[in-house]
Amino acid sequence: DTEVTQTPKHLVMGMTNKKSLKCEQHMGHRAMYWYKQKAKKPPELMFVYSYEKLSINESVPSRFSPECPNSSLLNLHLHALQPEDSALYLCASSQRGLFGETQYFGPGTRLLVL
């Protein structure tokens, strides 16, 4: 099973709302990733968790707050977003977060900020 699941599939929120994106994998992977993908662009890395610890934050604004409650679950908490944050948010996981590993992606959450 190489499945990464993400919920919700679609999300519409206002600029004053607080919402969360959820990602789950049951492959025993110890590295999990959040990416942001704008239309017609490649994914851009936002955060990396390795063994439940935040190891990379690619200078993401604080209105995005990641959380890794356990090795299978990754959340992205959203607060006071801007319309330009509208995008497809992809979660991925890999075995240990080492170079050369395959990253397995979820289907994404399509976010619209009004």
Q: Which residues bind another protein (CB under 8 A)?
A: 4, 6, 31, 33, 40-43, 45, 48, 50, 55-56, 58, 90, 92, 94, 97-108
- Report the Cα 71 to chain-centroid distance in Å: 14
**Residues paired with residue 24 on neighbouring β-strands, in sequence order:** 5, 73
Whichever of 16 and 59 has its CB closer to another protein, that residue is 59
CB 95 within 8 A of CB 30: yes
CB 99 to another protein: min, Å: 5
Torsion, Cα of 26, 28, 32, 38 (10° steps): -40
CB 80 to another protein: min, Å: 26
Whichever of 16 and 40 has its CB closer to another protein, that residue is 40
